[in-house]
Amino acid sequence: MQTPEGLTDLLTLTHLGDSLFEGENYQTVWKRVYGGQVLAQSLHAANQTVSADRHVHSLHGYFILAGDIKTSIQYKVENLRDGGSFSTRRVTAFQNDKAIFVLAASYQIQQEALDQHIQSPAAAEPEKLLSDAQLLNSTNDVPDRMKLYLLARHPFAFEFRPERDYSQKISPKENRNVWFKLKKKTILDIKQQQEFLAYAVDYDLLVMSVISHYQNNFDQPLQVASLDHAMWFHRPFDVNQWLLFSMDSPNISGARCLGKGSIFDRSGNLVATVIQEGLARPMVIE
Superfamily of 4-111+124-282 according to CATH: Acyl-CoA thioesterase, double hotdog domain (2.40.160.210)
Rg (CA), the chain: 19
Return the pLDDT at 32.
Answer: 82
The answer to whether the CB of 263 falls within 8 A of the CB of 197 is yes
Q: What is the pLDDT of residue 272?
A: 98
Residues forming a β-bridge with 106: 58, 88
- Residue 241 CA to residue 201 CA, distance in Å, equals 15
Which H or E run contains 38? helix 35-47
Reference 62, options 252, 205, 226; nearest CA is 226
Distance, CA of 45 to CA of 61 (rounded, Å)? 14
* Percentage above 90 pLDDT, the chain: 64
3-state secondary structure of 206: helix
Residues with a known catalytic role = 202, 226, 276
Question: In terms of pTM, does the model score above 0.75?
Answer: yes
3-class DSSP state of 168 = coil
pLDDT tens digits, residue range 66-115?
A: 999 999 999 999 999 999 999 999 999 999 999 999 999 999 999 989 99
pLDDT tens, 213-232? 665 555 566 677 889 999 99
Cβ proximity of 224 and 210 under 8 Å: yes
Q: Is 146 exposed, middle or buried (0-12, 13-18, 19+ CB in 10 A)?
A: middle
Confidence at residue 224, expressed as pLDDT on a 0 to 100 scale: 79
CA distance 221 to 285: 9
**Tell me: the pLDDT tens digits for 115-153?**
999 999 998 999 999 988 888 877 776 767 666 766 766
Whole-Å CA distances, 182 to 91, 143, 158, 215, 278: 27, 28, 4, 29, 26
